[in-house]
Structures are given as structure tokens and as C-alpha cells.
Amino acid sequence: MTDSLLDSPPYPSLLDPTVEPVSPRFEGPRERLVRGGAQHLEDDELLAVLLGTGCADEPVSRLASRLLREHEGLAGLAQQGAPSLARVRGIGESKAARIAAAIELGRRASRVSPPPTALRSADDVDLLLRPRLAHLEVEHFLALAIDSRHRVVRELWISKGTMTSCVVSVADVYRQLLREAAPAVIFAHNHPSGEAEPSVDDLELTRRLVAAADLLGVSVVDHVIVAREGYRSLRESGLMPRSTRAVSSTVRT
């Protein structure tokens, strides 16, 4: 060891009052969102950012986790309105309004997402409609008017019902559909129960829709039921009624 090293000043003591300790930089969910993007945060962290603050006996991170746990995740939380959320301990009207507004903004943003260029299968129909249908609390019935290449010409929201049923007028369906001059249609509706299995009424309605389509010169490609637990295609399940018209489920190239 050389004299020069022995003469070097020692490292400063961490206990030396003249040395200011360096505190590690704290990064909460908000800081990490700004630095790296929202996609890297977990559900409870995103909710904590939205809530902003906790309550007297519960920090915001625990409040967010409890809120998701009590509602069985985001899907359950998305079904709650502001009045219901406001009654949750630690939430109140202000936080409830923020949550309800964020959920509705997410739903609206999904509506302007570019749809598939063509509906080649029931998977594409589910991809297009799931963000708007799967978690609705009442049934909605839609008709997707499509061209000869299965591209969506118009999305027609035909009817809105209750938690267990939706009254659909066949005449009203084709009155709206024929205005679009589309050669084919895909029908779709949601099941608020969460299960996508078709009911007897679903099958009977599809039979009447196909029969009317035959008379009007329209091809019914499919009827897809969308629910929280998945979807069911009547065509893929072999449950579509037989048509007197030649109906192709493939895309023309």
C-alpha cells in the first residue's frame, strides 16, 4: 500500500451531521404512469391514481385494492353506478363520480376504435362488439349490415330490453336494414346473465329473421351472442336455421 493511498481522506461517515443523506426517490403509481405509460400499471394502481387520496384509516392503495376485491374486479366495478359507489366506505360522491366518468369514457373510446376490416368469423364480431355489449345490464339487439366482402356498412342498434329479454320486431329490423342496401347481415345481442348459451326464444327469433330475409333477398350470415363469459355463434354451433338462399360464411377476395 503506498503512502498516497494512506494519505487519502477516508469516506465520510453516514452519521456525520455535516453530510446530508441522499433519500431514495419515491415512485408511486402516478409517477410510474407519467414516466412509463399507463399500460404498465396493475388495475389497483390505475384505480389508485384515479382516486387520488385514501381515507383517514386507509391509504389510497389499500382503498383501491379493497374496492376491486369487493366488486370482484373491474368487470364488477364497471356495472356499478355513481350512487352505488358513493355508499362504499371511503369513496363518497366525488370519488364515485370520477370512477363512473372514467368507466364511461373507456366505453366511449372503445366505440371509436377501428373495427376489423372485414368480419371473417364470429371472433371478429366478438372483437368488434364485446367492449360495448359484454357488461351491459340489459339486453340489446343489433344488426350489422355488411357488404359482399363482409365489411360493416352500418351498425344498427335495433332494440333495448330488460335483464332477461329483448322484444325485437322483425318488420322493424328489415325496415332499418333495407335502407342501407346491404346484401347481408349479421345479428348480435348480449346476455346480461354472463352466459352466452342461446335460449329457445333466441333460436325462434333467428328462425323468423332468416325466413324474412329469404323473402327480401338478404343473406343472414350469423347470429352471435356476446356475454361476459364468452360468445356463441349460432352458425359455428350448427344452430342457424336453413335458408333457401346460398349464404357464404367466407370472405370474397
Query: Which pLDDT tens digit goes with each residue over 59-117?
Result: 999 999 999 999 988 888 888 889 999 999 999 999 999 999 998 888 777 666 555 67
3-state helix, strand, coil in the chain (%, to 5): 40, 15, 45
Residue that wins the pLDDT comparison between 113 and 216: 216
Residue type, 104: E
The CATH number of the structural domain formed by 29-111 is 1.10.150
- Of 20-34, 49-63, 176-190, 230-244, the range with the lowest mean pLDDT is 20-34
Lookup result for grid cell 373507456: 106
Does this chain's domain 29-111 share its CATH topology with 122-233?
no
CATH superfamily of 122-233: Cytidine Deaminase, domain 2 (3.40.140.10)
Q: How far is CA 141 from CA 2, 189, 205, in A?
A: 87, 4, 11
Model confidence, pTM: 0.56
* pLDDT recorded at residue 109: 73
CA dist 146 → 15, 30, 110, 138, 221 (Å): 75, 43, 20, 25, 9
Residue boundaries of the structural domains of the chain: 29-111, 122-233
Mode of pairing for the β-strands spanning 230-233 and 152-160: unpaired
